[in-house]
Amino acid sequence: MLKIKLLPRGKKHQITYRIVIAEARSKSDGKFIDDLGFYTPQTKTLEIDQDKLKQWQVNGAQITLGVDKILNPEKYPKKAKVKKEEK
């Protein structure tokens, strides 16, 4: 089964992600079939080829949770932080 995954690249605190098509059981930084775009969390930059994405979904590729959170942020609301009570 093919999945649309995030492939980590870059340094420890300067990480970027490639959005790729890969086999579901492959390593997170392993081989991939096709490259759809990239996401940079520091600047919230997202560049993705929508035509390729739709074509791969028609062919049966499934989106992982991480990619879905990036593509549809309104679907996953931010959790409110819980403040600790002081003694």
Write out pLDDT tens, residues 10-65.
999 999 999 999 999 988 888 899 999 999 999 999 999 999 999 999 999 999 99
- Residue-level length of the chain: 87
Contacts for 48 with CB less than 8 Å, ≥ 6 apart: 19, 36, 37, 38, 39, 71
Q: Do 46 and 70 form a contact (C-beta atoms < 8 A)?
A: yes
- Check pLDDT > 80 for residue 87: no
- In words, the CATH class of domain 2-75 is alpha beta
